[in-house]
Amino acid sequence: MNGKVRKEEILEYHMKGRPGKLEIVTKPCVTQRDLTIAYTPGVALPCLEIAEDPEKAYLYTIKGNCVAVVSNGTAVLGLGNIGALAGKPVMEGKALLFKNFADIDAIDINIDTEDPDDIIKVVKLLEPNFGGVNLEDIKAPECFYIEEELKKIMHIPVFHDDQHGTAVIVAAGIINALHLVGKKIEDVKFVFNGAGAAGIAVASMMKSLGAKNIIMCDSKGVIYKGRKERMNPYKERFAVDTNLRTLAEAMVGADIFIGVSVKGAVTKEMVKSMASKPIIFAMANPDPEITPEEVAEVRDDVIMATGRSDYPNQVNNLLGFPHIFRGALDVRATAINEEMKKAAAQALAGLAREEVPESVLRAYNREKMEFGKEYILPTPVDPRVPLWVAPAVAKAAIETGVAQVKIEDFEKYKEDLEARLRGKMGEVVRAFINRAKKSPKRIVFPEGTDANILKASQLILDEKIGTPILIGRESDIRIKMKELRLDLKGAVIVDPFKFEKAEEYAQRLYTMRRRKGVTLAEATRLILRGPNTLGAMMLEMGDADVFIGGQDQHYSTVLSYILKILKTKKGISKASGVYILIFKDDIMFFADTTVNIEPTAEDLAEVAICTAETARKFGIEPRVAMLSYSNFGSVHHPTAEKVKRAVEIVKEREPFLVIDGEMQADTAVVPEILRGTYPFSSLKEKANVLVFPNLDAGNIAYKLLHRLGGAKVIGPILQGLSKSAHVLQRGATAEEIFNLAAVGAVEAQEMEETG
C-alpha cells in the first residue's frame, strides 16, 4: 500500500456515509405540483416530443451529458482479471473523475461476461441512455474487437481510455520532446515494449502523426514478420522485417523508447546504446521500466517521462479522457475519431509551451515551471487543460463532420466551460499543502488523545507538511494510536508530567501573568494540567510553530487561553476569526465569524484589513464589502453609522484596498445591483471579502451557507496574532483539522519570512 495512504483510510472512505463513491442527485420533487411535472401526468409531454423527434432526448433527458463506463473487470489496473463485481470500485472511481474534472455524469456498467459478443450486444442495447461510452479495463485483444465492432454499430462516441487516452497524452509529450531535441517524427526510430491495449494504441497514434520506423516488443521479444508465438492480428500490424530479436538489440540507436510493460525491463546498458538526445517514456506502474535516477547515472541528454506523480513529466490520463468526452458531448459527436484525438494531443502540447499560472505553481510548490526537459506536459490540476482540450476536440469534430451541433462562438464556449468546470476546494487545499511542504512546521495539538487529531496527525506526516506535537498522557496516546492502527512515527508526544521544561515554562508564565492574578503555584498547575496553556506556551517559548486546539471544548474557552499568552500583531489590537467559503466557482472570506461579539468601528476596520491580508495569502485580490442592513446611508442609525465609520478608517489606513459600505449583503454580491443602483461605489465587481457588523450576523451567515447552501469551508482561521494559532469548531473531521494545519503552517512560514 502507498506509504501516504493507509488501508483502513481507503476502506473507510469507500464505506463512509453512503457506501461507494456515487449517488444520484435529482431536481426538486417536493410538492404535488412538482410530482405532476416530473412524473405523471406531466412526463408524457417530453416523452411524446422525443417520440416525434429523437434528438429532443438531448433537451429533455440526461443523455447528452451522460457517459457509460463499461467494463467486465478482466484487466483492472494492476490487479488483472478480478471480475466485473470486484472491478466496480474502479469504475465508480472513473465516474467520479468524469464528474469532478469535466462535469460529466457517468454511470458504471459492469458486465459479468468474458464473451466479447455479449458485451457488444449489451452496450448496443443501452445506447438510448448515453451520450458516449468509455470502455475500461477490458483485456487485450478482446478490447480491440469490442471497440471496433461498437464503433460500427453505434451512433455515439465509443472510446477505450486504456488505449486512446494513454495514446493522446503520450503523443502530446512526444510532440514537445521532439521539438526540444530538434528531431522530426518521420526520421526517428521508435522502440516499444508492451504490445497490449496501450502499446498498440500509442504506436498507432505515432504512425498517424507520421512515424515510419517502429519496432515493437512484447514479453517474447521483437515482433517480427513470420513470428508465430503469442501473436494476434493487432500485433501483426506492427510486425517488421528485421533480424533483431531482443529488446536490447532493438534499443541500439533508438531515438525514442516507449514502455507500457513491467518494472526493470530496461537496463542502463540499453540506455547507453540509444542515439543522441534520446527520449524515454517509461510508463509501467507503479514502477517504471527504468527510473530517472538510473538513467541519470549513464546519460545527461535524456528527456524522460513516467506514469508517476513524483517525477517530472507524468503521463496521466486525467489530462485527456474527461476533456475529450466534454468536447465530444458538447457538439453531440457521433464518434471520437483520429483527428479529434490528434487535436487533443496538439492542444496539450501547445498548453505546455505557455506560461504557467501562479495557481499551478502554488499547487506544486514551485517557483518556476517552464517548457523544457522537465516540463513537456501540463499538470492535471492546471485549470486551463479543459479550456484547451475540450474546444480543440469539439472543433475537430465539427471539421470532420461527426458533430451534430455546431459551436459558432468558441470564445463564448470557453467562457461558459470555465464557469461550469471550476472547482476551487481541491485547488485551494492542494496549494497550501504544497506550500507547507516547502518548510515543514511543528504543529502542537493540546488534545493529543482525540481520534480525529491523531488521524490528522497521520495526514500531516504522510504529506510531510510538519511534525505533530501531541499533548497528553503518553500511555493514553499510544493506546489510542494502536486502536486506530496509526503509525505516527515522527510525531512528538509531550506528557506534561514528564515534560522536562515544565518548571521553566511555569516560571515564564508566572512572569508574564503575575500582575494579572497568576501565582507561581497557579502557573505550575496550568502547565501541568492545562494543555491549552501548555500548547500556547510552546509557541511563546519557540518550541512549536503552530497551535491548533478546540476539538472537544468551546471555542471561547480555548481562545481565552491563547489570548492570555500570545500577543497581537503590531498595529492590531484584537484578534478576529475568518471562514473561507468555497463554492463551485467562487471563493469568499467571511469575518468576523468567531471572536468579537459587538465590535466598534475601529475593530471592524482592523477585521477588514486582516481579512484582506488573509485573502492575499490564498492568492485572492480582496474586494471588501462592509455589511449592514443599510445601503450607503439609506438608514440613519448608530449601528449603520458604525459600519460607515469603519469604511472611512480603512480608507485612511489602507488607501489602495478596494472597499466600500455600508451595504446590504445582496448589494455586495450582485454586480447588477452595484453597477445599476450604486454606480458611484468603489466596488465594481462582486465582493469576495464580507465583513459583518457583529458576531451574530457573521456566525449565522457562514453556518447557513455551509449547512444549507452547500458551501465547503476552511477555518476558522484566527487572524491578527503574532503567532500562528487556530481554534477548531468542536467535532472537526480529520480532513478539516489537516486543512487548518496546512493553513497554519504556511502562515508560520510567512511570519518567519517577514519577521
Calculate mean pLDDT across residues 556-565.
93
Question: Using one digit for the tens of pLDDT, what is the confidence trace for 482-507?
Answer: 998 888 999 999 999 999 999 999 99
Indicate the class that CATH gives domain 61-156: alpha beta
**CA–CA separation, 363 vs 349, rounded Å?**
21
Q: What is the pTM of this model?
A: 0.70
pLDDT band at 426 (very low <50, low <70, confident <90, very high): low
Fold exhibited by the domain 431-563: Rossmann fold (3.40.50)
Catalytically annotated residues: 39, 94
Per domain, the residue ranges of the chain are 61-156, 164-311, 318-422, 431-563, 576-718
Fold exhibited by the domain 576-718: Rossmann fold (3.40.50)
Q: In what order do the strands lie in the sheet with 689-691?
A: 658-663, 623-627, 689-691, 586-591, 576-583, 712-719
Q: Which of 265, 193, 188, 182 minimizes the C-alpha distance to 222? A: 193
C-alpha cell at 450: 482525540
- The region, left, alpha or beta by phi > 0 then psi within -120 to 50, assigned to residue 506 is alpha
Does the fold of domain 164-311 match that of domain 61-156?
Answer: yes
Calculate mean pLDDT across residues 702-719.
89
**CA–CA separation, 616 vs 374, rounded Å?**
30
Q: Is the pLDDT of residue 619 over 90?
A: no
**Alpha carbon 664 to chain centroid, angstroms:** 34
Q: What is the pairing mode between strands 466-471 and 132-135?
A: unpaired
DSSP 676-728: HH-TT-S--S--SEEE-SSHHHHHHHHHHHHHTS--EEEEEEEESBSSEEEEP
Domain 318-422 has CATH 3.40.50.2000: no
Sign of CA dihedral 344, 347, 352, 357: negative
**CA–CA separation, 516 vs 536, rounded Å?**
17
**CA–CA separation, 395 vs 328, rounded Å?**
9
Question: Using one digit for the tens of pLDDT, what is the confidence trace for 290-327?
Answer: 999 999 999 999 999 999 888 999 999 999 999 999 99
Q: Is the pLDDT of residue 8 over 90?
A: no
The CATH number of 164-311 is 3.40.50.720
pLDDT band at 3 (very low <50, low <70, confident <90, very high): very low
pLDDT band at 422 (very low <50, low <70, confident <90, very high): low
Bridge partners for 588 per DSSP: 581
Q: Is the pLDDT of residue 414 over 50?
A: yes
pLDDT band at 361 (very low <50, low <70, confident <90, very high): confident
Cis status of the peptide bond prior to 662, with omega within 30 of 0? yes
